Amino acid sequence: MKDSNKPGKESFPKIPFEDQVNDDQRKYSRYVCDSRAIPHEIDGLKPVQRRILWAMWNSDARNRFTKTVKVAGLAMGYHPHGDRSIQDALSQMAQDFTFANNHPLVAGEGTFGDVLDPGAIASPRYTEVKLSDFVKDLGFFESLPDIDYVKNYDETEDEPIHFVGKVPIVLLNNIMGIATGFRCFIPGHKLSAIINSQMNYLKTKKPLPLKPWYKDYKGEVKMAKTEAGNITMTTTFGFTWEGDSLYLTDAPMNWNREKVINLLDDIVERKDSWLKDYVDHSSQTFRIELNYKKGEKPSAKEIAAVISKEDTQTLANNVITYDGRLKNFGPEDIIKRFCDFRKTHLIRRFKRLAGLEQEKIERNSELIRFIKEKWNEKVIGIKSKKDFEDKLQKSKFVYYEWLASIPIYRMTLEEVRKCEEAIVEAKTALSRYQGLVKEDKKLTEFMIGELTELKDKWDKE
């Protein structure tokens, strides 16, 4: 008997092995970009970060410190790559020091490392996290009905494709990622500078140029363009004088305390410079007293000549776009695209809110008519609720099911007055939402207003 399930020769297309391997490699590379390593241009998050925030929003961790390991367990319901990767990402999101996050989206309680040793993170059993106040003010969660969702990996839950905040987070906090064939390095920027650039674009269609910035960092950030056309960012050591005492207060990116101490030891051992020895007073931040040889007080040029090490990173502003492509954009283009997308998002939001206000007007108008026509008396003699609903429907009531369920104590003139007041309020709100949808000037003013409020609270200049 012939096996009908046995595939025929035509089921196996003749593809050269090399082509098949290359095709699989391309698909895997794109999977890593989309699902793990590259941030989204709109919310600035990698998938694991977005799933962490979503899990926290839907749990006690929204407002209350919760064990990191517990939050990671909740996020596993959306993220199919194991709890260790979630725990690591969550801990990094809570880090609040130079070169980590300018504005953390997660508030942490416990040891999450510091600029001296970013990797000194306590076990997730002993740390706690919750959503930061900043991420709530950012607006990620204020219009959840107006974003798009997909099913999680086992199709049991919905999760956001991306959030929509008030500013492009992809420019705010340092982002690094390595995918197969692609990498991402987007430096952090100052919140007020991002907002000023957004507001200038909204007013003039020209975003202001941005320069990388890291909170509490007093070293130098130098930008350059290579012969190949790549943009590089270099960070340096920072120093300060207190009277005649010289202190090292900042180190370049990727320089921890151990690396700095090793460098200073090498310089001291050479005995060919002004540096005699040093005293390490560091605690959470760098503060190393540099003792110079008698009569050899160094100038700024001499300091830089001896302690000359730097860190240079090549920018790779690779992002996943809102239409699912992998693209590289400069900061100004990211500002433009984000503002344009947020306008579209807000129009969608205000259309929905206008619809709710219109429904409120219609419901209250029908309730007024229901009361004035004394339907509470007409109900006597009607056999069932279904018959009552049928009569209301025949009398051109749209919300007949709702009206049939209203308790009798609301059938009063006081209720009529309340309905009339509600209609006035709803008409005012409806007019406002319709204006925001139809008039670009009003929508722009709204966006500038919310950006000003965010800047005044979190980064007032």
Q: Which of 31, 126, 201, 399 is catalytic?
A: 126
Cα of first residue to Cα of last residue in the chain, in angstroms, is: 83
State how far the Cα of 346 lies from the Cα of 432, in Å rounded to an integer. Answer: 13
Give me 312's structure tokens.
């240079």
State how far the Cα of 34 lies from the Cα of 40, in Å rounded to an integer. Answer: 9
Give me 6's structure tokens.
């046995």
Q: Give the phi and the psi of residue 249 in degrees, each rounded to 5.
A: -115, -15
Q: Give the phi and the psi of residue 288 in degrees, each rounded to 5.
A: -115, 115
DSSP-derived 3-state class of residue 139: coil
78 in catalytic set: no
State how far the Cα of 208 lies from the Cα of 197, in Å rounded to an integer. Answer: 4
* Helix intervals (H) in 95-232: 133-137, 191-204
Helix H or strand E encompassing 453: helix 440-458
Give me 267's structure tokens.
């310089």
DSSP-derived 3-state class of residue 124: coil
Distances (CA, A) of 390 to 90, 372, 379, 405: 55, 19, 12, 13
Other beta carbons within 10 Å of 134: 19
- Residues labelled as active-site residues: 126
